[in-house]
Amino acid sequence: MLNKKNSLFEAFKQTKYQMAGHGKRDIHILKEAFQAVDGEQESDIYGKGKIIEDFQDKMAAYLGKQRAVFFPSGTMAQQIALRIWCDKKGIRKVAYHPLCHLEIHEEDGLKELHHIETVLLADKTRVIELEDVITMEEEISCLLLELPQREIGGQLPDYETLEKISSYCRDKGIKLHLDGARLLEIVPYYNKTVVEICSLFDSVYISVYKGIGGIAGAILAGDQDFTEESKVWKRRHGGDLISLYPYIISADYFFDQRSQKMNQYYEDAKELAELFNSCHAISTLPMEPVSNMFHVHFHAPKEQMESVLIEIYETTGIGLTSYLRETTEEACSYEVSIGDQYAALPKEKVNHVFKLIDEKMRELN
Amino acid sequence: MLNKKNSLFEAFKQTKYQMAGHGKRDIHILKEAFQAVDGEQESDIYGKGKIIEDFQDKMAAYLGKQRAVFFPSGTMAQQIALRIWCDKKGIRKVAYHPLCHLEIHEEDGLKELHHIETVLLADKTRVIELEDVITMEEEISCLLLELPQREIGGQLPDYETLEKISSYCRDKGIKLHLDGARLLEIVPYYNKTVVEICSLFDSVYISVYKGIGGIAGAILAGDQDFTEESKVWKRRHGGDLISLYPYIISADYFFDQRSQKMNQYYEDAKELAELFNSCHAISTLPMEPVSNMFHVHFHAPKEQMESVLIEIYETTGIGLTSYLRETTEEACSYEVSIGDQYAALPKEKVNHVFKLIDEKMRELN
């Protein structure tokens, strides 16, 4: 198994083209972002200075919030956001989806460091709906909505649902926080402005290294009282680094380069999902993507599927994924996030890959 | 006052030479460190990958510890070290100096996030001695020693005292943690190897952007059980970034460049301190430095001293400091950390500066 896994990983690394993503996460990313930067520019110093302040102002304006703060990570930014809202209300309880990043990827930092209890809304197969919020019995300080809900392929509630949840929360004195790690990526589907979407939320987090493709880092935005308090917690967490500019300058550079390309990623994702869904024994979740991402489900055992993919990589030079996750004994899946690479792929090569996959899937099943 | 402060800051920025430090904290630092780096090198990914693992191994070997972990900040690394030792013993209490970084510079992260109580040993004028440790009444999990004790000019206990404290703590089941933000800088004075010094401690933190002069970041080292647990807490804190390589590569580059120069910085610090002490109404703390650092105390009011310094900067083109801290109405001080710049200064220019300062101080007093 381990060997197989490594084989797929290695075969993927050898491919000339990859269908998803912006490309390799290598040092070139930093080199490209810094190429045109004046070496005389002074570092930010513990959250102050032109580099960090300018980018924070730019992001605040972009998100339509009073202020924005640059954080080394979303993990840090979001725990802090929830902590501030809990302290404000005096209730250490928040609600979010069972597959929320804080619940499954952060070693329980929220609970271990902030002693915040969590209420899990909806279930692992669907997004949070208005009904889930209204019928919640516990009193909470904050509701976190992740848009799109990554772990279920990047699904979204209707925009109307968002508006109703927002309005309900405001009435009930519940703060609404947006886990917008992939916020830019959902703008085309909702067909709203970023500012409109953010106006439904009291606090907003966005990642600078997913769709934007920076090196690392996050933005947390909200009212000035909120962001000022977040800076205190940032220091407590050990995130108030003397210099964050390697992340800020790269975030700014790739934001300018990619923030306008989200519509293309979205259209490409829909096209690619359709190609998968046209194959035998393959389906995507969601069937029609609502952002640049979706999950691919192969209705074949993981080991068999790995062999199929390795053969396709070696034959075509095109890589689909470096890993497969076993979902059942008879099925496996992986995540697609469309970036710059898909549009650069020769279409006839893409079609050839899908012809091969379809044939192979028919042989297997 | 604000204006004056800004004037000194601005005048300092205009100087051609500066006596302390390695030079400006600008983007050049990153550009230099990355100049020779192969762009094809893959990023570290969430604490894994060659870049981070190689540097961690190198630092573990250098410090003589089983394992080392790269952290985005010392604030994060040290809180986590103390938390692990507290959890292990089941007592949420540690001891350190009243001017410990955790006590005065971290917005009480240790208390707010980890609910750890602190016992303050010694007082604000001197370092922790064996007697302070032996007579401590509270039961603690861990004692933190900061070497050198920065806020009092970078003072050190005798090496024999260190050995006795270490041996006492081992007997009593108290873990000993080294705040070695400036560990490399004290090696020449103790005339011991880094490994010898670290062997007295259960866990060791070093900074990569002080004497070493990297961009940001820290190393936390200890036994494997300890470092593995520290990685879990690193994730909880939001410090397990997808890519830490901008800090790691620069740390490695400047470590290779400067780790061998600590003896020179130490000798330069002694020489410079002597020059200050030879002036009227100026003294250094400590009188004879035991590392690359010391504090300069001017026995003159801050505002007057600012005018004196501005005039000297403008006359000589040499900057001493960008700020002064008022210690009493009649005195002020600043911190010196010797780096590459002192050795690059023409000696006759240095002597000229001190001749001028001495004259000015005599005029003032």
**Domain regions of chain A by residue span:** 2-24+261-364, 44-242
- pLDDT, average across residues A297-317: 97
- Choosing among 3.40.50.150, 3.40.50.2000, 3.40.640.10, 3.40.50.300, the CATH entry for A44-242 is 3.40.640.10
Q: State how far the alpha carbon of A116 is from the alpha carbons of A173, A351, B332, in Å.
A: 18, 50, 45
Query: In tens digits, what is the pLDDT along chain B, a chain of 365 residues?
Result: 445 557 999 999 999 999 999 999 999 999 999 999 999 999 999 999 999 999 999 999 999 999 999 999 999 999 999 999 999 999 999 999 999 999 999 999 999 999 999 999 999 999 999 999 999 999 999 999 999 999 999 999 999 999 999 999 999 999 999 999 999 999 999 999 999 999 999 999 999 999 999 999 999 999 999 999 999 999 999 999 999 999 999 999 999 999 999 999 999 999 999 999 999 999 999 999 999 999 999 999 999 999 999 999 999 999 999 999 999 999 999 999 999 999 999 999 999 999 999 999 999 87
Residue to substitute from A12, A22, A30, A212, interface B, most B β-carbons within 10 A: A30
Given a contact cutoff of 8 angstroms between Cβ atoms, the answer to whether A245 and A89 are in contact is: no
From residue B186, how far is each of A252, B35, B257 by CA, in Å?
A: 39, 30, 17
Peptide bond into A148 cis (omega under 30): yes
Is A26 in contact with B43 (Cβ distance < 8 A)?
A: yes
Cβ <8 Å between B216 and A241: yes
* CATH match of A2-24+261-364 with 3.40.109.10: no
Does residue B347 contact residue B31 with C-beta atoms inside 8 Å?
A: no
Neighbours of A170 (CB within 10 A): 13
Contacts of B21 in chain A (CB under 8 A): none
The answer to whether the Cβ–Cβ distance between A27 and B45 falls below 8 Å is no
Identify any residues that bridge with A45 across adjacent strands, giving them in sequence order: A48
Which of A43, A239, A247 lies nearest to residue B238, judging by beta carbons?
Answer: A239
Comparing alpha-carbon positions, the chain A residue that sits nearest to B208 is A242
CATH number of B2-21+261-364: 3.90.1150.10
Contacts of B25 in chain A (CB under 8 A): 42-43, 45, 242-243
User: A243 contacts in B (CB within 8 Å)?
Assistant: 25, 209, 215-216
Nearest CA distance, B75 vs chain A (angstrom): 5
State the smallest CA–CA distance between residue B38 and chain A in angstroms: 7
Share of chain A above pLDDT 90, in %: 98
Pick from B34, B42, B72: which is nearest to A25 by CB? B42
pLDDT of residue B365: 79
User: Residue B120 burial by CB count (10 A; 0-12/13-18/19+): exposed, middle or buried?
Assistant: middle
Same fold across B2-21+261-364 and B44-242: no
**Residues of A with CB below 8 A from B38's CB?**
27
